[in-house]
Amino acid sequence: MSLARPRVLVADDAVLVREGVVQLLRAGGCEVLAALEDADGVRSALASTGDVDALVLDIRMPPTHTDEGLALLERLRADGVRTGVLLLSMYASPTLALRALSAGGATGYLLKDRVRDGGALVDAVRTVARGGTVVDPEVVALMLRASTGASRLDALSEREREVLGLMAEGRSNQGIAKELHLAVKTVDSHVEHLLTKMGLEASVDEHRRVLAVLEVLRALDA
């Protein structure tokens, strides 16, 4: 996988959205291997294209325009496909975001309005391509506003909740430090403390960060 130039498949049945996403990704340094209209096309392209770093999928595609993108993500994960998947949605739905991240693997949930910002789209694609997770900032804001009094999240300080929100957006500790004007070591400490308070055991990978985001999504979805 080349993070300098991620190889991407795009699927959206709306031609203007599809072509807009393609142009933004190419302008951001991604290699778009194919632009498709439906979930079946994605499976065929995955089988024939070779190495793919990320998929960008509309949640609602033919034939029913309900949850085809999500259903495809779930089938791919069930089949053991670990390719990063970024889902695009019209709605800031914690329920859909929870379902997406619960499928496992490198997964993102981004609002289509965010696609107007090419940088946000490309950053999200790069995040899932390297194995991370992304939740749209609007959904994160809903999460944190609604999570007061929710389970283990009550134990977090205001700063820790702020750090958790940026984690949910897919920021690295270095990115969080830059956003909050803190030292990276300070952010490292906040992350470790909040994960410990949430009862998430030590891990050598990104798994605890994903579990923390899922905890907030579940609290909001309850």
Comparing C-alpha atoms, which of 8, 78, 75 is closest to residue 36?
8
| CB distance 122 to 28 below 8 Å | yes
Helix (H) or strand (E) holding 35: strand 31-36
101-141: pLDDT as tens digits:
999 889 999 999 888 888 999 999 999 999 999 999 898 88
- Are 121 and 172 members of one domain? no
Residue 147 has pLDDT above 80, yes or no: no
Alpha carbons 152 and 154: distance in angstroms, whole number: 5
Boundaries of domain holding 197: 139-221
- Are 111 and 168 members of one domain? no
- Are 92 and 185 members of one domain? no
pLDDT of 1: 43
- Are 205 and 109 members of one domain? no
Amino acid at 86: L
The CATH number for 47's domain is 3.40.50.2300
Q: Is the peptide bond before 6 cis (omega within 30 degrees of 0)?
A: no
pLDDT of 217: 81
pLDDT of 55: 97
- Are 128 and 192 members of one domain? no
pLDDT of 212: 84
Residue 216 has pLDDT above 80, yes or no: no
Range with the poorest average pLDDT among 89-98, 133-142, 162-171, 193-202: 193-202
- Are 155 and 204 members of one domain? yes
Question: Could you please report the per-residue DSSP string of 194-212?
Answer: HHHHTTPPP-SSSHHHHHH
Q: What is the pTM of this model?
A: 0.85
Alpha carbons 215 and 99: distance in angstroms, whole number: 12
- Are 144 and 125 members of one domain? no
Tell which of 111, 135, 159 closes a domain: 135
pLDDT of 84: 96
Pairing between β-strand 54-58 and β-strand 84-89 as defined by DSSP bridges: parallel
- Are 97 and 169 members of one domain? no
- Are 157 and 122 members of one domain? no
